[in-house]
């Protein structure tokens, strides 16, 4: 395999060229937001874009690295901020590095044992997600929240566990500020 280069725009957070853009609309995240009543009301009228991510296609092999830029739109479902689906890695003993490029957000992390952590992200913040920690990003600002991600080539994605259990804590707006609260619907994994 030969080398290649991409150009990462420090203003927009996007890199070019990319091979694939993936869209995640509200209909792709059914039941992931706490307020299912608000979700249904919105879906009756429209299907808003929650986030998108651009990828470079690289070998899904140990020793390689994967690159992606994600943009989460500003907005809420009920009082819960727009967020990514969140995932563990299919190969759970792999890390990930996030680099904040623009906007304001928060990284939520949890283990299957019920441990939880969070890091506020803005431009220039590098977050290191250690092996075994599931991760979700949340846009707590009024503008698109953009971050660049690098992870091992063979990490893969396990979305199913988060779909089943939810996240232990969720980020909601109270008095116009983001507040982390316990997720009453969270289920510790069997």
Options 26, 29, 83, 127; binder of a copy of itself; rule CB under 8 A: 127
Say which DSSP state 87 is in: B
Cβ-proximal residues to 56 (8 Å cutoff; 6+ apart), any chain: 6, 15, 18, 19, 66, 67, 68
| Alpha carbon distance 57, 60 (integer Å) | 9
Considering the complex, state which of residue 121 and residue 170 has its C-beta at the smaller distance from a copy of itself: 121
Our CA dihedral for 110, 107, 63, 8, rounded to 10 degrees, sits at: 170
| 125 touches a copy of itself by CB under 8 A | yes
Return the range that interacts with a copy of itself (CB under 8 A); candidates 36-44, 74-82, 138-146, 151-159.
151-159
Q: How far is the CB of 70 from a copy of itself (least distance, A)?
A: 16
Options 48, 74, 75, 131; binder of a copy of itself; rule CB under 8 A: 131
Output the six-digit token pair for 148: 């660049």
Please give the residue ranges that form the binding site for a copy of itself (CB under 8 A).
1-10, 15, 56, 58, 62-65, 67, 91, 93-97, 99, 107, 109, 117, 119, 121, 123-131, 133, 150-153
């Amino acid at each position: 395999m030969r080398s290649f280069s991409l150009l990462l725009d420090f203003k927009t957070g996007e890199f070019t060229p990319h091979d694939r853009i993936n869209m995640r609309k509200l209909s792709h995240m059914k039941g992931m937001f706490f307020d299912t009543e608000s979700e249904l009301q919105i879906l009756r009228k429209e299907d808003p874009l929650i986030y998108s991510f651009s990828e470079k296609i690289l070998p899904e092999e140990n020793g390689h690295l994967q690159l992606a830029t994600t943009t989460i739109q500003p907005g809420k479902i009920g009082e819960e901020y727009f967020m990514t689906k969140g995932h563990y890695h299919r190969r759970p003993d792999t890390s990930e590095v996030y680099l904040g490029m623009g906007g304001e957000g928060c990284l939520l992390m949890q283990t299957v044992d019920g441990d939880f952590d969070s890091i506020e992200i803005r431009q220039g913040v590098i977050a290191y997600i250690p092996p075994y920690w599931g991760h979700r990003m949340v846009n707590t600002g009024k503008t698109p929240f953009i971050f660049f991600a690098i992870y091992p080539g063979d990490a893969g994605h396990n979305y199913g566990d988060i779909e089943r259990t939810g996240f232990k804590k969720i980020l909601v707006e109270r008095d116009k500020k983001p507040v982390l609260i316990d997720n009453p619907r969270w289920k510790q994994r069997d």
